Structure 1
Amino acid sequence: MNSEISQHKRLSRTKPNYALLLLTLVFALGLLDRVIFNVLLDPIREEFHLSDTIMGLLSGFAFVAFYSAMTFPIARLADRYNRRNIIVTGLTIWSAMTAFSGLVTNILQLTIARILVGFGESMGSAPGHSLLSDFFPKHERPKAFSIYSGGLHLGILLGYIIAGLIGQMLGWRYAFFFAGVPGLLLALIIRLTMKEPIRGSSEEHYELKGLKIPLRTAVKDIFRQPSYRLVLIATTMGAFVIYAFSTWEATFLRRIYHFDGIQIGLIVGTVKGGTGLAGAFLGGWLCNTCGKKNYRYILQIPAIATFLCAASSLIFLFSDNSTMAIIGLGITTFFLAFHIGVAWGVAQTVTRVEVRTLAAAILTISCNLIGHGLGSSVPGFFNDLLSETYHVNAIRYSLLSATGVALLSGLIYWRASHHIEKDINSLSEQRKVTPTF
């Protein structure tokens, strides 16, 4: 196996940075397809005469139901078969269904389109995490995954601009067309230019023990690491915060400060995209640099950033003018971006090569089914519940749920930091490799 890996490295069939670029764009387009719906939530709701609760469910559970149901079996396939081809298939499906969303004529068709977008996206995340782990050795993964997580904020930036500008000028249906086409082109590029790496090729002296591990054994192997369990919980809570704000912030600004589509697209999109990318890159760099001195910093830095995110969210929610609200949103997005890529990198580093895609799938399912599903739906439910008492200001108080969850997420990341060194060392002993971050 070692000679095969060495030969593979010499051939350099796909440059790691090029693969990182392509996979980051895949992730960005996945977020673009979600953000489009969230930014256009009010126009869609008004055309089909729906409540906030129903729109929250369409943004959340209608999307994540099939996404979560299919992520697990897709991960098992990706641990055995060509991961690149799985990603290409999924990207084609969800991009086509995004474009189709602009043609729907009733709520049933819209629900089906959202379900199929989720089905397609289930083929992107976990196989992508596994591919990155084979392109980059573990001491480079925090930075690589942080760059990859920047795709989230790139997708947000593009989603806001397309939905805001196209939605305002041509209507919400055209925005879905513009969002779907790039994914179809990217799928073709990946299929023609990116090669599948050998599993375990980034691990020195690693002997792949075989991919046909029984499911029960694989799950037990993953969850025996305390740092993985705690990162799973904390990252799911972080996903709740991300999707609570990303689903409802455009609606918040429309209702509280009367922003129009162009203002949301240009101002909010630029602020969120820019601060999110900065936070993702800085978070990855800090964790990568400080983690070389002490493993605990790899998770303590995201913990502190998440605490600061909770504090700054209050500026966004309760400012008395739009300028301060946008500043608060930018600071919140900046600190919220610290944890994502780092958490994904940790989840891949504390699990064995044979089960990495499954480990990523479990994290993805939890973040989407619980984090995205509840993050999108809970504020919508409280909007309707509190509307008679607080009227338009109900949305301020409904989004406080995200502030509380952010505080809990930070506490759990801090707790996980006390386990990570032991978990990395125990896994490295199995691989007969000295761990370095």
Structure 2
Amino acid sequence: MTDISAGPKAARKSASARSWYMLALLALVYIIGSVDRAVPSVIVEPLKAEFALTDAQLGFLTGFAYSIPYALAVLPAGWLIDRVDRRALLSIAAAVWSVLTMAGAAAQTFTMLLLARMGVGATEAPASPGSLSLIGDAFPKHRRATAVSLYYAGTAAGQMITFLIGGALLMHFDWRALFLIAGAPGLVLAALLFFTCKEPERGQFDEEQESPEPVSYRLAVRSILASPPLRHAIVANMLATGVNYAILVWTVSFLVRSHGIAVQNAAMTVGVTIGLTMMLGSFVAGWMTDRYAKGDASRTARVPAIGTSIAAILGIAMILMPDRNAAFVLLAAFGFMMGINTGPGYATLVSMTESSMRGAILSIAKLASILIGNGGLAWLTGQLSDWIGGGDSIRWALLITILFLFWASFHFFRAARAQRKESGLDDIL
């Protein structure tokens, strides 16, 4: 566990212009990765018609087809992140998943599309833990919430691009064109990351030895099991990101089925309402959290602890709202809170881990978020919709899914309390 105060080594250094440039590139890569990952969410209804799919099959395609290969690859990826040039690893991964995204355009059967999406899931495994590991070594503790929030603003930007531009493209092209257009930019960004960025010194802003040695997964797991703050933070992020992903996957279908909106207009509506507000929330979250927390991981955890409860209330109101325009307003507010929660949630994990095991622990956390959170809740929502049945079944399935945010809030609060107890600090806000 790292101490919340900056040590002598950290005090001698600050984030450079090169660090901010690398952060910008990492965010752009994450944007493209989010686009590549979210493309099927825009074309759920066209895919359902093309391949005669059930909601459970669509939930599998948008959830487990990505998350299971990701889960198989993320632990080896985390091992590599702690041992190799992270910049090179992420560049190669981005190039490969971009090509596999484009391969989805050639799918003639549901099985072929599944295989392409599984490849995307496996090759995106190093992206988030690798980028967070780089950010942890490129920025001091009192700037990490800002840096991580700006990075995760890429999720919002990716969703906005996917749904807004994807919806517009569907007016002129079929669903196959979206895969081709989504995959191409990743090749350019992969080259820029590889040729114009340098690997930062590991642990340069942490109270550690000058050259921390990477640790095994066995030791990383033992560290998690021995650390109540880490355990609660991992579960909280798993639940919060899982609900967010399920909402993004199924909101277009919800607007089409429950509010009678055309799929193209529904996709663009989601892009504007969730994309813009989530991006704004991410920008606000980083600045707000760093000013409030000042490098204290327990205070950082309090931000998503409060935010997830607020998001749950807004999400329930949005799902139950019969008026279309009022539902759009609530959807925008929910998107803002998604942005508030994501960056500080993962900044909490970065600040609670040592650089020697940051890749391993963040990979374990991402494994839980992707496999159980994203994959499980996206599939569960589709499965619940099939079980409930009827034209409005997706509304009630989403309502049940949103309730998991209260569970996430509980664990964020527990993480904050446990971290302060371990640090020997009082519990004053």
TM-score range, shorter chain: over 0.9
Which residue pairs with 1:45 in the alignment?
A: 48
Which residue pairs with 1:77 in the alignment?
A: 80
Which residue pairs with 1:280 in the alignment?
A: 282
Which residue pairs with 1:316 in the alignment?
A: 318
Contact persistence 1:310–1:406 (CA under 8 A): yes
Unaligned runs of 5+ in 1: 427-437
Q: Which residues in structure 2 correspond to 1:133-172 (within 5 Å)?
A: 133-172=136-175
Amino acid across the alignment from 2:285:
G
**1:296 Cα deviation from its structure 2 partner:** 4.1
Contact persistence 2:150–2:343 (CA under 8 A): yes
Contact persistence 1:36–1:162 (CA under 8 A): no
Q: Does 1:304 align with 2:313?
A: no
Secondary structure in structure 1 of the residue aligned to 2:172: helix
Which residue pairs with 2:6 in the alignment?
A: none
Amino acid across the alignment from 1:137:
P
**1:222 Cα deviation from its structure 2 partner:** 3.7
Q: Does 1:58 align with 2:37?
A: no
**1:103 Cα deviation from its structure 2 partner:** 1.1
Contact persistence 1:295–1:417 (CA under 8 A): yes
Output the aligned Cα RMSD: 2.1
Which residue pairs with 2:351 in the alignment?
A: 349
Contact persistence 2:202–2:212 (CA under 8 A): no
List per-residue Cα deviations over 1:346-393 (Å, max 9, x = no partner). 212111111001111011101000001112101111111111xxx111
Contact persistence 1:63–1:118 (CA under 8 A): yes
Q: Does 1:203 align with 2:206?
A: yes
Partners in 2 of 1:271 and 1:400 — Cα distance? 19
TM-score for both structures, normalised by structure 1: 0.90
Which residue pairs with 1:435 in the alignment?
A: none
Q: Which residues in structure 2 correspond to 1:118-133 (within 5 Å)?
A: 118-133=121-136
Which residue pairs with 1:34 in the alignment?
A: 37
Secondary structure in structure 2 of the residue aligned to 1:178: helix
Partners in 2 of 1:59 and 1:205 — Cα distance? 41
Secondary structure in structure 2 of the residue aligned to 1:159: helix
**1:223 Cα deviation from its structure 2 partner:** 3.5
List per-residue Cα deviations over 1:377-410 (Å, max 9, x = no partner). 01111111111xxx11111110112221011111
Which residue pairs with 1:405 in the alignment?
A: 404
List per-residue Cα deviations over 1:308-360 (Å, max 9, x = no partner). 11111122211112111111111111112222111212212111111001111
Which residue pairs with 1:110 in the alignment?
A: 113
Partners in 2 of 1:171 and 1:342 — Cα distance? 38
Partners in 1 of 2:420 and 2:128 — Cα distance? 26
Distance 1:307 1:63, change over 3 A: same
Partners in 2 of 1:196 and 1:208 — Cα distance? 14
Which residue pairs with 1:434 in the alignment?
A: none
Partners in 1 of 2:105 and 2:76 — Cα distance? 30
Which residue pairs with 1:263 in the alignment?
A: 265
Distance 1:424 1:121, change over 3 A: farther
Contact persistence 2:45–2:263 (CA under 8 A): no
Contact persistence 2:204–2:210 (CA under 8 A): no
Amino acid across the alignment from 2:417:
H
Which residue pairs with 2:218 in the alignment?
A: 216
Which residue pairs with 1:337 in the alignment?
A: 339
Distance 1:293 1:195, change over 3 A: closer
Amino acid across the alignment from 1:316:
M
**1:294 Cα deviation from its structure 2 partner:** 7.0
Partners in 1 of 2:299 and 2:220 — Cα distance? 28
Partners in 1 of 2:76 and 2:298 — Cα distance? 33
Distance 1:20 1:139, change over 3 A: same
Partners in 2 of 1:419 and 1:290 — Cα distance? 18
Unaligned runs of 5+ in 2: 1-8
**1:295 Cα deviation from its structure 2 partner:** 5.7
Across the two proteins, how many residue pairs are aligned to each other?
416
Amino acid across the alignment from 1:167:
L
Contact persistence 1:167–1:173 (CA under 8 A): no
Contact persistence 2:69–2:121 (CA under 8 A): yes
Amino acid across the alignment from 1:141:
R
- Out of 171, 184, 196, which is 1:181 matched to? 184
Distance 1:424 1:116, change over 3 A: farther
Secondary structure in structure 1 of the residue aligned to 2:210: coil
TM-score for both structures, normalised by structure 2: 0.92
Q: Does 1:415 align with 2:417?
A: no
Distance 1:86 1:221, change over 3 A: same
